[in-house]
Amino acid sequence: MMITTIGFDADDTLWHNESIFRLTQDRFRSLMSDIAAPEILEAKLAEVERRNLSLYGYGVKGFTLSMIETAMELTGNEAPSRIIAEILAAGREMLGHPVEPLPGVDQALAELSKDYRLVLITKGDLLHQEQKLAASGLGDLFVAVEIVSEKDASTYERVFARHGTGAAQGVMCGNSVRSDILPALEAGAYAAHVPYPLTWAHEMADSPRAHPRFAELDTIAHLPAWVRGLT
């Protein structure tokens, strides 16, 4: 099989992301410690985030709004202004957080870009994702960037047809089994899972270990050799 196109997830595949969200959740937990027990706060925030995904989508801005909404619901719509101000400040700090590519990313993408078309396929806020890509210094290695509202089989079929030669000759690499692996396999592509130490609960799913087009790699540095082994 000739591979022509490789899709990459962005957050927690190319650079750190979930760890920043976890630090902000810790800050939110401390801020709300006099109002709700940690387990109650976390359950409420998770509930609000799930409820808001179809409205706000993925990313820092939606997360910030969900924290504000959680604070309002747990205080009977009487959250102190200082708490709202702190949540907004935390959201701004997340948006301005330095972009830190993960180990091996620069080398792997530079090597693969010599022989394959690289496409960034990511969810999240359009402006923020574009800013992170620019700050990462990786932008010139991609022939295209697709920032989508959701990742499903039809998304991968469309992206690999638009920027490559179809999903059958494409590879998707990402850290989320739910978003990066299962729908890419359903579309007919190959899929390489590169786990990140932290995973958002909404993105958890069982790995399709027996699937003939699937591989789990310890590090993105192993991706070039695996892709070339498919040819």
pTM of the predicted model as reported, rounded to 2 decimal places: 0.87
Residue (of 162, 191, 136) closest to 8 by Cα position: 191
Q: Which pLDDT does position 205 carry in this prediction?
A: 74
**181 touches 207 (CB < 8 A):** yes
CA dihedral 162, 163, 167, 168 (to 10 degrees): 120
Q: Which pLDDT does position 103 carry in this prediction?
A: 94
Whether residue 216 has pLDDT greater than 70? yes
- Tell me the average pLDDT across 22-48: 95
**9 touches 199 (CB < 8 A):** no
Name the amino acid, one letter, at 90. A
Same fold, 5-16+100-230 and 18-95: no
- Tell me the average pLDDT across 32-59: 93
- Tell me the average pLDDT across 172-190: 96
98-125 pLDDT tens trace: 998 999 999 999 999 999 999 999 998 8
Q: Mean pLDDT, the chain, as a whole number? A: 93
Q: Which pLDDT does position 203 carry in this prediction?
A: 67
Q: Quick one: fold of 5-16+100-230?
A: Rossmann fold (3.40.50)
Task: Tell me the CATH class for 18-95.
Answer: mainly alpha
Residue 14: phi, psi to the nearest 5? -100, -30
CA-to-CA distance for 203 and 215, rounded, in angstroms?
18
Domain boundaries, the chain: 5-16+100-230, 18-95
Give residue 1's pLDDT band: very low, low, confident or very high (50, 70, 90). Answer: low
Q: Which pLDDT does position 100 carry in this prediction?
A: 85
Give residue 202's pLDDT band: very low, low, confident or very high (50, 70, 90). Answer: low
Q: Between the CA of residue 117 and those of 48, 102, 179, 220, 229, what are the distances in Å? A: 38, 21, 21, 17, 17
